[in-house]
Amino acid sequence: MSSCKTSEFTFQSSVHSTHVLRCLDEQRQKDLLCDVTVVVENRSFRAHRSVLASCSEYFSARMTNHTGQGFIINLPDEVTTEGFEPLLQFAYTSKLLFTKENVLEIHNCATVLGFKNLDKACFDFILPKFFDSSKSSSKVQTIQCCKTKCWKAKDESSINNDGANDTGDASSVTQPLKKQEPNFSSSLSEKAVRTCSPCQVETEADTEAESDYSSLCPKYRKFQLACGKGQSCTDTEPENTESTCSLNCLPCSSFEKPESEDIVSNKTTTGITEENAMSFCCPLAKQSPIETPPNLCSGKTSPQMCSMTSSCSLGGSFPPHPSAGEVVESSSVQVMGKECTVSDRRNGTFCLNPRTEQRSTVEMEVANQLSAWPDICSSRVSEPASACGQGVAVKSSELQWLKQLECPFLRDLGAVEAQVRCSEVTSRSAECSYISSIHSGEDSDSFDTEGESESCTSEQASLMQLPFSVEGIVSLSRNDFQQMLKTHRLTREQLDFVHDVRRRSKNRIAARRCRKRKLDCIHNLECEIERLRSEREKLTAEKRQLDQMRLKTWENYSVLYDRLCAEAKLQPEQLQVFAKYTSLGECPFSTHLSTKMQLYHCSEPELQPLAPCLGTDTGIFEPGTSTRSANTQNHLASDLRSTETPHTGNSETMSISPDQICKLETDKS
């Protein structure tokens, strides 16, 4: 405590900014404290200046110097209601909800209004992929749909619903997205049921049964078929929990799914729609594995209940979900000095965590939009209504092409993919659970090792007549687990079985964690390699530049020497002496001198005796061996003065002056 007196602590709320923004949005909707009216196409929108100015350069410019009340801004004609309203919503919610129909309009308005955080990069990335990918993704869908009529029906239903959606609430302009959503969801839900019901019938008829669930992992299908009555949570739960951990282990990823039951019933049963802004939270924070919390699936007798609870537990470290409409306060975990934040969840949508500043808003926005990619998600739009397809409705295989997109955040797709896999497993579990009655006993003889093992686990669990759920064996903490064992008097066999299940499940999770770490390590090493490679290139370029400078300097010296020799009119002997005192090996001056002397010697044979001097006394060819004394200049001058010309044999005073020598030394230095 004494140290506390001297230490400073900082409490940083992870929910404050979101709370403020939410309150502002509520104020806007209630027209409280709004101080500006924005007129777009004869429609008025009340808002707060500060909010608009914070998000838009246009508003910022127009509002900065205006202090009066009742400020009305008429937006330019190019700004439409269709494009502006989502932007206004984005300003207050950080979420941009768009459809294929209005994304261009939004883009245009964002450009005109200079909406920050929705800059060019975002739309440059979104738009081409959005529209260009329609065909390609449809191909993907087609390929997938070829497997099953059901998928075709689902796609058609999604398309139909799109169409219905387009025409359904066209009149609702004020809140088009919000109003469309329920209709869309409900209609879609109905159609999903309708389209899939025949498949179930066909399944019963043993005609298209496999095709309907052919996309499901046979292993889990078998497993689910085997465990049947809601025990699928046993093994799907660790998946979910682990996925959270594994995601957190990624350089930057996190994920959460909506957990509200109402969401399940109203919205998520239909998968992802174009308006469904299901997105993954993608904080860069690297989180160490967090201990698996107690399983949130308490009851699992009902397959549907299990499906929901399985999804609930996807956010392993998250608190239990609140009731519908209730805003879940963000939870923040400080691990390894980095913050992993769980963003709010409302209306079944996930929002990118605005507090995560390690990643640019644009990246997160793109991630947000990509996660709700209509083309991808539409293929799963009509997930069986009872499946736990809430939130994640993207197949892992469908994320493969996303990996190929060059976007900084796409490394997170690995995490998303993992999450999707978990979701798929969960979905399969749920699906298989609810179709288990249809498939009762089918393929029971063809279990593979894993499925057999898992099914055996479930079967044995039921045979053991354990007084608690199998999932509890895995999800409970050590103390709780032991407490539970003490509470229930178990036989030796039951104890062994329980311990074995717990051990294997824990180890399964650990293996996933280990592999994830390994992949992360590989990823980091690859990044390090890339960094070092770029650094090497940079140093190489720098060296090349320095070499060029050195060469240029050498040439300058040469020119300078030529000029000096021309002005001084030095004789070869004088050059020799001169070279002696400028004999720094690396000095281009010396080299130049030697060259000059050699030319003399070659042209005048009588000067040959001087040659040895160049190689020995002068030290021209001995780089670095010459050190200059303080009286170098004096020696040089005296030597030069005492030098006799070989041509005449007469002593001749050197014509170079001390000033020239000084100049020479200075130039050289």
Instruction: List C-alpha distances in Å: 92 to 25, 54, 89, 178.
Output: 5, 11, 5, 15
- Tell me the three-class secondary structure of 470-482, residue by residue: HHHHHHCCHHHHH
Question: Per-residue DSSP letters for 517-573?
Answer: HHHHHHHHHHHHHHHHHHHHHHHHHHHHHHHHHHHHHHHHHHHHHHHHHHHHT--HH
Among 12, 69, 70, 478, interactor with DNA by CB under 7 A: 478
Round to whole Å and give the CA distance between 241 and 236.
9
Round to whole Å and give the CA distance between 475 and 294.
5
User: Whose structure tokens read 């993954």?
Assistant: 280
Among 41, 101, 291, 586, interactor with DNA by CB under 7 A: 291
Among 169, 235, 237, 259, interactor with DNA by CB under 7 A: 235
User: Smallest gap, in angstroms, from Cβ of residue 454 to DNA?
Assistant: 5
Residue 82: which of 106, 116, 58, 117 has the closest Cα?
106
162/431 with CB nearer DNA: 431
181/417 with CB nearer DNA: 417
450/555 with CB nearer DNA: 450
478/492 with CB nearer DNA: 478
> What residues from 293 to 322 belong to the interface with DNA (CB under 7 A)?
none
Instruction: List C-alpha distances in Å: 82 to 41, 94, 662.
Output: 10, 18, 80
443/639 with CB nearer DNA: 443
Q: Which region among 55-63, 181-189, 428-436, 495-503 touches DNA (by CB under 7 A)?
A: 495-503
User: Whose structure tokens read 């720098």?
Assistant: 542
Among 59, 280, 373, 481, interactor with DNA by CB under 7 A: 481
**Angle between the 233-249 and 413-435 helix axes, to the nearest 10 degrees?**
170
Among 504, 523, 641, 663, interactor with DNA by CB under 7 A: 504
User: Smallest gap, in angstroms, from Cβ of residue 502 to DNA?
Assistant: 6
User: Smallest gap, in angstroms, from Cβ of residue 214 to DNA?
Assistant: 8
User: Smallest gap, in angstroms, from Cβ of residue 88 to DNA?
Assistant: 41
235/471 with CB nearer DNA: 235
In the stretch 240-269, what mask flags binding to DNA with x, by CB under 7 A? ------------------------------
Contact status, residue 230 vs residue 259, Cβ threshold 8 Å: no
Contacts (Cβ under 8 Å, ≥6 apart) of 106: 82, 83, 86, 87, 96, 98
Round to whole Å and give the CA distance between 613 and 577.
9
Length in residues, the chain: 669
User: Smallest gap, in angstroms, from Cβ of residue 66 to DNA?
Assistant: 56
Round to whole Å and give the CA distance between 331 and 13.
10
Question: Per-residue DSSP letters for 292-341?
Answer: PPPPS----SSHHHHHHHHHHTTSTTSPPP-STTPPPPP-EEEETTEEEE
In the stretch 360-399, what mask flags binding to DNA with x, by CB under 7 A? -------------------------------------x--
User: Smallest gap, in angstroms, from Cβ of residue 272 to DNA?
Assistant: 20
Instruction: List C-alpha distances in Å: 493 to 16, 284, 464, 497, 635.
Output: 52, 46, 8, 6, 104
User: Whose structure tokens read 């439409």?
Assistant: 80
Among 127, 173, 201, 510, interactor with DNA by CB under 7 A: 510
246/361 with CB nearer DNA: 246
- Tell me the three-class secondary structure of 381-406, residue by residue: CCCCCCCCCCCCCCCHHHHHHHHCCC
142/645 with CB nearer DNA: 142
Is 507 near DNA (CB under 7 A)? yes
Is 239 near DNA (CB under 7 A)? yes
502/580 with CB nearer DNA: 502
107/219 with CB nearer DNA: 219
Is 513 near DNA (CB under 7 A)? yes
Is 499 near DNA (CB under 7 A)? yes
Among 289, 348, 389, 391, interactor with DNA by CB under 7 A: 289
Is 421 near DNA (CB under 7 A)? yes
Is 488 near DNA (CB under 7 A)? no
Residue 95: which of 10, 8, 178, 212 has the closest Cα?
178
Is 496 near DNA (CB under 7 A)? no
Q: Which region among 175-183, 201-209, 513-521, 551-559 touches DNA (by CB under 7 A)?
A: 513-521
Dihedral of CA atoms 302, 306, 308, 314 in degrees, nearest 10, equals: 170
> What residues from 183 to 222 belong to the interface with DNA (CB under 7 A)?
215, 217-219
User: Smallest gap, in angstroms, from Cβ of residue 408 to DNA?
Assistant: 20
User: Smallest gap, in angstroms, from Cβ of residue 414 to DNA?
Assistant: 8
Contacts (Cβ under 8 Å, ≥6 apart) of 228: 433, 436, 437, 440
Contacts (Cβ under 8 Å, ≥6 apart) of 625: 583, 585, 619
What are phi and psi for residue 426, nearest 5 degrees?
-60, -45
User: Smallest gap, in angstroms, from Cβ of residue 419 to DNA?
Assistant: 10
How much of the chain is helix, strand and coil, in % rounded to 5?
60, 5, 35
Contact status, residue 209 vs residue 200, Cβ threshold 8 Å: no
346/512 with CB nearer DNA: 512
> What residues from 442 to 471 belong to the interface with DNA (CB under 7 A)?
448-451, 453-454, 457
217/613 with CB nearer DNA: 217
User: Smallest gap, in angstroms, from Cβ of residue 451 to DNA?
Assistant: 7
73/247 with CB nearer DNA: 247
Is 503 near DNA (CB under 7 A)? yes
Instruction: List C-alpha distances in Å: 394 to 143, 375, 383.
Output: 15, 10, 10
236/582 with CB nearer DNA: 236
**Which residues would be at the binding site for DNA (CB under 7 A)?**
215, 217-219, 235, 239, 289, 291, 397, 418, 421, 448-451, 453-454, 457, 478, 481, 499-500, 502-508, 510-515, 517-518
